[in-house]
Amino acid sequence: MFNGKTVLITGGTGSFGKKFCAKVLQEYPNINRLIVFSRDELKQYEMAQQFNHHPKLRFFIGDVRDKERLYRAMDGVNYVVHAAALKQVPAAEYNPIEAIKTNVGGAENVINAAIDRGVKKVIALSTDKACNPINLYGATKLCSDKLFIAGNSYAGSKETRFAVVRYGNVVGSRGSVVPFFLSCRDKGKLPITDPRMTRFWITLEQGVDFVLKNFERMQGGELFVPKIPSMNIMDLAKAIAPDCETEIVGIRPGEKLHEYMISVDDARNTVEYDDYYVIQPSFVWWDQEHYLATNGGRRVPEGFYYSSDNNDRWLTVEELRSIIRRDLVGQTYSLWPSVHR
């Protein structure tokens, strides 16, 4: 799919971006160019070193808030992954306008630049916090999701198509609870918000694979949700630091007890497949029955919702330990197939 093509990823120096670039460069040796678009020159320099100055890799310093810079960066680009975002929940609560400028205004800029530059396909990364959001970060990402889905109508006669991928917490990503708990082990105590708390979990490898597969699947307008396992926060603590004490500190502002990826209201337009769901758009021109017939999916039942506590796939303590060990040594791993409690 990417052979002979040019691909751009916004926020490309992040955890997802690095894994995405490594995967694409390995699997598509005949790619024309892979462009990393991000704000931090130091991170770009370090990433160039890590990739041994790969001849197909390009680095563009820029901010998604800067529409003109995006127009320049997308010249000749065929595919775009939009991973740039301000994603720290407390920081977004304290700096709401900044989060809106990046997560909402930046999404608008990516959409307009992609359409006007003739990009073929764009996939934007979302989060489980965008489903029934209770914090500003989740609200901005829900708004971003809506913008990218509507981008298919904005494209008019142009061929640019947009889709969204939504998934849960990424094991080992920067700022997530796994590296935080690892850093707390030497102190002998782990802060626990609420012992009932559950979260969805996905590995970087799976997140990248899911995005790549959806570039092939997408028609434009879909919101793709993978079927991934959940884990209870106490099991997470046991997996990372079994000898540590735990201290209940209470749920932080803007935090949920359980996360959702598909709400009851979204379920009316949701189609289920073996390993993922698709929330279909409500476009006048979108033929849901034709989509079902040609893609082999099935409608979810009335009243369906997909949350981290009603999941039928659960990650065990040993499975998470295995993932962390493999992640630390850079090996591949899989927790995808039928992980049950």
Q: What residue has token string 């949701």? A: 270
Rounded Cα–Cα distance for residues 47 and 69 (Å): 21
Tell me whether residue 209 is exposed, middle or buried, using C-beta atoms within 10 angstroms of its C-beta: 0 to 12, 13 to 18, 19 or more: buried
According to DSSP, the β-strands at 306-307 and 260-262 are: antiparallel
Residue among 178, 93, 74 nearest 135 (CA): 93
- Residue 287 and residue 39: Cα distance in Å, rounded? 40
Bin 161: left if φ > 0, else alpha if -120 < ψ < 50, else beta: beta
State the Cα angle at 233 between 132 and 172, rounded to 5°. 85
CA distance 265 to 64: 31
23 catalytically annotated: no
User: What is d(CA 260, CA 169) in angstroms, rounded to the nearest whole number?
Assistant: 12
SS3 176: coil
What does DSSP assign to residue 79? E
Q: From the candidates 19, 87, 129, 256, which is the catalytic residue?
A: 129
The beta-carbon contacts of 307-312 under 8 Å, at least 24 apart in sequence, are: 307/258, 307/259, 307/260, 307/261, 308/128, 308/168, 308/198, 308/199, 308/200, 308/230, 308/258, 308/259, 308/260, 309/198, 309/230, 309/257, 309/258, 311/198, 311/200, 311/229, 311/230, 312/340
Q: Which residues pair with 170 in a beta bridge?
A: 202
176: left (phi > 0), else alpha (psi -120 to 50), else beta?
beta
Active site residues: 129
